[in-house]
Amino acid sequence: MAKIIDGKTISQQLKDELRQEVAQLKEQGKNCCLAVIQVGNDPASSVYVGNKKKACTYIGIESLSYELPEDTSEEELLALIAKLNEDKNVHGILCQLPLPKHMDEDKVIQAIDSKKDVDGFHPQNVGALVIGQEGFVSCTPAGIIELLHRSGVEIEGKHCVVIGRSNIVGKPMSLLMLRENATVTVCHSRTKNLPQICKEADILIVAIGKPQFITAEYVGEGAVVIDVGIHRDENNKLCGDVKFDEVEPFASAITPVPGGVGPMTIAMLMKNCVEAMKLYS
Ligand code: NAD
Query: In whole angstroms, what is the distance from residue 118 CA to residue 95 CA?
Result: 10
Q: How many CB atoms lie within 10 A of CB 56?
A: 24
For 12, residues 6+ apart whose C-beta sits below 8 A from its C-beta are 263
Residue 208 pLDDT? 98
Q: How confident is the model at residue 224 (pLDDT cuts 50, 70, 90)?
A: very high
Ligand 1: does its nearest atom lie under 6 Å from the Cβ of 2?
no
Q: Which of 193, 176, 192 minimizes the C-alpha distance to 184?
A: 176
> Is the pLDDT reported for residue 1 higher than 90?
no
Residue 47's CB: how many other CB atoms inside 10 A? Answer: 10
Q: How many Å lie between the centroid of ligand 1 and the Cα of residue 112?
A: 25
| pLDDT tens per residue across span 44-90 | 999 999 999 999 999 999 999 999 999 999 999 999 999 999 999 99
The one-character DSSP state at 74 is H
Half-sphere exposure of 229 toward its Cβ, with a 13 Å CA cutoff?
25
Lateral strand order in the sheet of 183-187: 3-4, 253-254, 224-227, 203-206, 159-163, 183-187
Distance CA 278, CA 281 (A): 6
Q: How far is the CA of 111 from the centre of ligand 1 (A)?
A: 25
Ligand 1 pocket, residue 112 CB under 6 Å: no
Cα of 177 to ligand 1 centre, how many Å?
17
The chain-wide mean pLDDT, for the chain, equals 97
Whole-structure pTM over 0.95, yes or no? yes
